[in-house]
Amino acid sequence: MNFNGERLKKSRIYRNMTISELADKIGVTKQAVSQYEKGVISPKPEVLFKLISTLNFPMDFFKEEDLVNSKIENTFFRALLSTKNLDLATQEVKPEIIVRIYDFLSNYLDFPKLDLPDLKNIETKDIEDVAGMLRSYWKLNENPISNMVSLLEKKGVIVSSLATDSHKIDAFTQIQTIADMQYYCVVLGNDKQSMVRRAFDAAHELGHIILHNKLVNIKDLSKEEFKKIEKEANQFAAAFLLPRNAFYADLINPTNLDSYLKLKKKWKVSIAAMVMRAKQLGRISSKQYQNLMKQISYRKWRRNEPYDDIWKVQRPQLFKKAIEILIENNVLTGSQIVMELSKENYSIKPEEIEALLDLEPGTLKEKQSPDNKGLVLNLKQKR
């Protein structure tokens, strides 16, 4: 039997397990697991079944060879310096699979084309100008952005929302190449969000795509260099969501915290971020900024601001609509989508796909035929 050691490594990392932890669970040495992953030896059938059970991936996943040549160019993590390597690697595998599924679905559907300006000529010297240029390129003028997640999807950026299972990882972006095509995948954590925080996270990740596309390897950056690109992404997000001239004109009473409640309704940006932006634009002094932030803390708005509980968090829609179109138009059933992926040497369980694509649980399960509804079989009683 052919055994793909690289797939074993990927599934182990996906489940956030070290080699030692997996070895303990399946009853072999860590040296054996290491050899499986390197392709030196293949696991015996009884060990393979333990791997399948422990890692919860189909048997075929471990037997398949990748038909598509993909390469991860960069993954931008905000908490790169303070998060364990295994936790980072676990998250890094997810968009790799998401992009692979996106590439598969693009065989059936016309997804929005990637619509970005020429990133080679962008300089980060004046981030205000870069944010303004992108707004102009996308013909947004200086109007508020009502749905940042939808905007990214319309511009050809792949977006998914999933549980990162880490309090340090809110969102991240991966740049990936498949057959000379570049894909940008933004992953938004779905377990610690408000609508305005998600919008800022999405704009922050867009900042990395626009400003830092030319970086060779983010992991090679020094601590100071990493902090610099994070600061730049935050500055871009603020400038993009709150354009200089329009937002400045709205700051009629910038030292009054309550005045930001009305502005929050208009701009769909957190009060804390707007106060910071007011300081950046020179509308308030550093002392006035500190005073406003103290008031925010006093009102307990640091964690939960007004409207956060009633505004619905924006979710990505592209994958949901794509699957709905295929199923409702009888192109593919849910189970056929899983099967066709498997034919392309990417066998994944339906519930895993649903989690990665932020689909409702059961979306890819075969709907019960009406002919079989109500059919009940009982065990015979012993005579």
Report the CATH number that the domain containing residue 18 is assigned in CATH. 1.10.260.40
| Encoded tokens for 156 | 């050809």
For residue 118, the model assigns a pLDDT of 86
Domain tally, the chain: 2
Q: Residue 379 — pLDDT band, cuts 50, 70, 90?
A: very low
For residue 218, the model assigns a pLDDT of 83
Q: Residue 84 — pLDDT band, cuts 50, 70, 90?
A: confident
Q: Answer yes or no: do 106 and 183 share one domain.
A: yes
Cβ-based neighbours of 335, under 8 Å, separated by 6 or more: 350, 364, 365, 366
Q: Is 304 inside any structural domain?
A: no
Q: Is 316 inside any structural domain?
A: no
For residue 372, the model assigns a pLDDT of 46
Residue 186 CA neighbour count, 13 Å, CB half: 28
Q: Is 286 inside any structural domain?
A: no
Q: What is the pLDDT of residues 324-357, one digit of tens each?
A: 999 999 999 999 999 999 999 999 999 999 999 9
Domain endpoint, select from 184, 213, 235: 235
For residue 79, the model assigns a pLDDT of 72
Does the pLDDT value for residue 80 go beyond 70? no
Q: What is the pLDDT of residues 228-270, one digit of tens each?
A: 999 999 999 999 999 999 999 999 999 999 999 999 999 999 9
In the chain, which ranges are E strands?
Answer: 70-77, 158-162, 171-178, 181-189
Nearest partner of 347 among 158, 16, 100, judged by Cα:
100
Coil, strand or helix at 352: helix
Q: Answer yes or no: do 57 and 168 share one domain.
A: no
Domain endpoint, select from 22, 37, 63: 63
Q: Answer yes or no: do 20 and 89 share one domain.
A: no
Cα separation values, 91 from 62, 84, 222, 321, Å: 20, 11, 22, 24
User: In one letter, which amino acid is 374?
Assistant: G
158-162 and 70-77 strand pairing: unpaired
CB 191 within 8 A of CB 53: no
Domain hosting residue 220, numbered range:
70-235
Q: Answer yes or no: do 228 and 95 share one domain.
A: yes
Q: Answer yes or no: do 92 and 55 share one domain.
A: no
pTM, entire model = 0.91
Q: Is 52 inside any structural domain?
A: yes
Coil, strand or helix at 69: coil
Q: Answer yes or no: do 27 and 136 share one domain.
A: no
Q: Answer yes or no: do 101 and 37 share one domain.
A: no
CB 86 within 8 A of CB 97: no
For residue 270, the model assigns a pLDDT of 98
User: In one letter, which amino acid is 161?
Assistant: S
Round to whole Å and give the CA distance between 147 and 161: 15
Q: Answer yes or no: do 79 and 189 share one domain.
A: yes
Q: Is 311 inside any structural domain?
A: no
Domain endpoint, select from 235, 260, 294: 235
| Encoded tokens for 340 | 């066709």
Coil, strand or helix at 176: strand
Q: Which residues pair with 172 in a beta bridge?
A: 77, 187
Q: Answer yes or no: do 201 and 116 share one domain.
A: yes
Q: Is 279 inside any structural domain?
A: no
User: In one letter, which amino acid is 266?
Assistant: K
Q: Is 187 inside any structural domain?
A: yes
For residue 376, the model assigns a pLDDT of 52
- b/e per residue 15-48 (b: at least 16 CB within 10 A): bbbebeebbebbebeeebbebbbeeeebbeeebb
Weakest mean pLDDT among 77-81, 172-176, 215-219, 375-379: 375-379
What's the mean per-residue pLDDT of the chain? 92
Q: Residue 201 — pLDDT band, cuts 50, 70, 90?
A: very high
For residue 381, the model assigns a pLDDT of 59
pLDDT, mean of residues 81-90: 85
Share of the chain above pLDDT 90, in %: 78
- For residue 68, give the DSSP letter: S
pLDDT, mean of residues 14-28: 98
Q: Answer yes or no: do 121 and 81 share one domain.
A: yes
Q: Answer yes or no: do 89 and 184 share one domain.
A: yes
Q: Answer yes or no: do 76 and 223 share one domain.
A: yes
